């Protein structure tokens, strides 16, 4: 876990803008779990106040979520709690160093000293990030902050064309250096207002680079669309009894809520499928498996690719261990737990994200067991 603290004079303009931009960037790249990000002030002048309206307006303009925040003053303890303390100008650096009593561990940096690091691999003698409290120019401050993060180009939403199917949206990445360098991403509308990435193609760079740099960003946007639609979806009760293979006496009854339309149950595959047709090839699914002991779910573990333990999750009042991996061409998020003596349950999400507020997350949150 990398802990980063952004600091400015009042903690309502520059540092909150930096916190919002950096949080959005690492979230879009699927790296949020690797970071703890916050912002504080060196002074007490704005303590308790929310971000400046200029910060809020700029983030809204560039479609970056505003993080709920009230100004706080940094303390000596913050030097111990964070790995990097990033000040916006020379006055901030002086005040930060005074507050913490020196910089023996070399944790304090001026923000724009990182601006060219991706190219030079060296810190530079940086100028200050101008304070928009005085300049009123939040555009210039945003440009400075973007320079620090090494952001290239921008995403442009394109309107539907007549020749395109109505259930597809295209996004286009345009490089600042070359307008022939782009990525198109198709979003398939599974149900009204719920979009998932169905395909993509590129120009000017490799498909591998597209996946590494850009695809997670548009997936994050698709998740936001899914979240908005899921909040208003009409739901119905669902229950199913899952038995251990060849042992009908070892079984678990699973109860939850699912959308009235757009989801179905595949009896043969023992899974909830994100499609009205339970046999739909390649559709996202939530698969259930029952065994006697939780260790029994490791029977193919040596064949898992990209295995990684993730944060445990409480489902139906029971703590499930989380892990992700790739197996037989599918990406899995799996939660496993020992329900009681002689019954263990696996809940596996195949080829789907479980972002908070999206339908898979809602289904898991409503789940109980008997």
| Catalytic residue from among 13, 14, 287, 354 | 14
pLDDT grade for 32, boundaries at 50, 70 and 90: confident
Q: What is the pLDDT of residues 55-93, one digit of tens each?
A: 888 888 877 888 888 999 999 999 999 999 999 988 999
206 and 243 in one domain? Answer: no
Q: Which residue has the higher pLDDT, 10 or 351?
A: 10
For the cut 70, the answer to whether the pLDDT of residue 173 exceeds it is no
* Predicted pLDDT of residue 317: 95
Establish whether 131 is a catalytic residue.
yes
200 and 105 in one domain? Answer: no
Q: Which two tokens stand for residue 23?
A: 């949080």
Q: Of 94, 121, 149, which residue constitutes the final position of a domain?
A: 149
314 and 208 in one domain? Answer: no
For the cut 70, the answer to whether the pLDDT of residue 165 exceeds it is no
Q: What is the mean pLDDT of residues 241-267?
A: 89
Mean per-residue pLDDT of the chain: 79
* Predicted pLDDT of residue 153: 47
Range scoring the smallest mean pLDDT among 98-107, 159-168, 176-185: 159-168
346 and 258 in one domain? Answer: yes
* Predicted pLDDT of residue 72: 93
Q: Which two tokens stand for residue 123?
A: 């810190």
240 and 226 in one domain? Answer: no
- The secondary structure of 77-140 as a DSSP string is HHHHH-SEEEESSHHHHHHHHHHHT--TT--EEEGGGGTTHHHHSS---PPP---HHHH--HHH
Q: Provide the sign of the torsion angle of the four alpha carbons 100, 102, 103, 105, taken in this order.
A: negative
Range scoring the smallest mean pLDDT among 154-158, 161-165, 278-282, 359-363: 161-165
Sequence-distant (≥ 6) Cβ neighbours of residue 346 within 8 angstroms: 287, 288, 289, 290, 291, 297, 334, 335, 336
| Catalytic residue from among 131, 291, 323, 350 | 131
Q: What's the CATH code of the domain at 137?
A: 3.40.50.2300
* Predicted pLDDT of residue 160: 42
115 and 254 in one domain? Answer: no
* Predicted pLDDT of residue 78: 94
What single-letter DSSP state applies at residue 161? P
Q: Which long-range contacts (CB under 8 A, 24 or more apart) does 204-209 make?
A: 204/175, 204/178, 204/180, 205/181
* Predicted pLDDT of residue 149: 55
142 and 18 in one domain? Answer: yes
* Predicted pLDDT of residue 209: 57
For the cut 70, the answer to whether the pLDDT of residue 105 exceeds it is yes
* Predicted pLDDT of residue 118: 46
Q: How far apart are CA 244 and CA 288, in angstroms?
A: 10
For the cut 90, the answer to whether the pLDDT of residue 254 exceeds it is yes
Q: How far apart are CA 166 and CA 188, in angstroms?
A: 9
Q: Of 230, 247, 276, which residue constitutes the final position of a domain?
A: 230
Establish whether 14 is a catalytic residue.
yes
* Predicted pLDDT of residue 171: 54
Establish whether 271 is a catalytic residue.
no
pLDDT grade for 121, boundaries at 50, 70 and 90: very low
- The structural domain count of the chain equals 3
225 and 245 in one domain? Answer: no
Range scoring the smallest mean pLDDT among 136-150, 314-328, 353-367: 136-150
Domain containing residue 14 = 2-149
């Amino acid at each position: 876990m990398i802990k980063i603290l952004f600091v400015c004079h009042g903690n309502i303009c520059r540092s909150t803008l930096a916190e919002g931009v950096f949080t959005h960037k690492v979230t879009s790249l699927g790296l949020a779990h690797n970071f703890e990000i916050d912002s504080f002030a060196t002074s007490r002048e704005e303590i308790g106040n929310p971000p400046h309206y200029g910060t809020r307006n700029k983030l809204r303009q560039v479609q970056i979520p505003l993080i709920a925040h009230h100004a706080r003053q940094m303390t000596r303890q913050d030097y111990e709690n964070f790995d990097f303390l990033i000040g916006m100008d020379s006055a901030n650096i002086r005040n930060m160093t005074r507050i913490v009593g020196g910089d023996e561990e070399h944790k304090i940096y001026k923000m724009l000293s990182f601006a060219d690091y991706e190219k030079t691999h060296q810190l530079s003698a940086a100028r200050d990030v101008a304070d928009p409290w005085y300049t009123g120019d939040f555009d210039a401050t945003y440009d400075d902050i973007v320079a620090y993060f090494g952001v290239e180009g921008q995403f442009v939403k394109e309107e539907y064309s007549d020749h395109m199917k109505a259930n597809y949206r295209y996004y286009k990445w345009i490089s600042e250096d070359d307008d022939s360098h782009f990525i198109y991403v198709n979003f398939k509308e599974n149900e009204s207002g719920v979009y998932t990435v169905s395909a993509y193609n590129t120009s000017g760079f490799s498909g591998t680079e597209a996946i590494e740099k850009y695809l997670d960003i548009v997936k994050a946007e698709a998740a936001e669309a899914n979240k908005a639609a899921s909040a208003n979806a009409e739901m119905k009760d669902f229950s199913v009894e899952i038995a251990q293979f060849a042992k009908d006496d070892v079984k678990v009854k699973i109860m939850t809520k699912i959308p009235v339309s757009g989801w179905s149950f595949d009896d043969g595959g023992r899974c909830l499928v994100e499609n009205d047709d339970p046999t739909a090839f390649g559709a996202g699914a939530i698969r259930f498996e029952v065994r006697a002991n939780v260790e029994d779910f490791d029977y193919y573990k040596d064949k898992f690719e990209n295995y990684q333990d993730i944060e445990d999750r409480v489902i139906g009042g029971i703590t499930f261990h989380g892990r992700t991996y790739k197996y037989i061409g599918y990406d899995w998020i799996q939660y496993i737990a020992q329900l009681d003596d002689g019954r263990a349950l696996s809940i596996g999400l195949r080829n789907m994200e479980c972002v908070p507020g999206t339908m898979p997350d809602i289904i898991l949150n409503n789940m109980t067991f008997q």
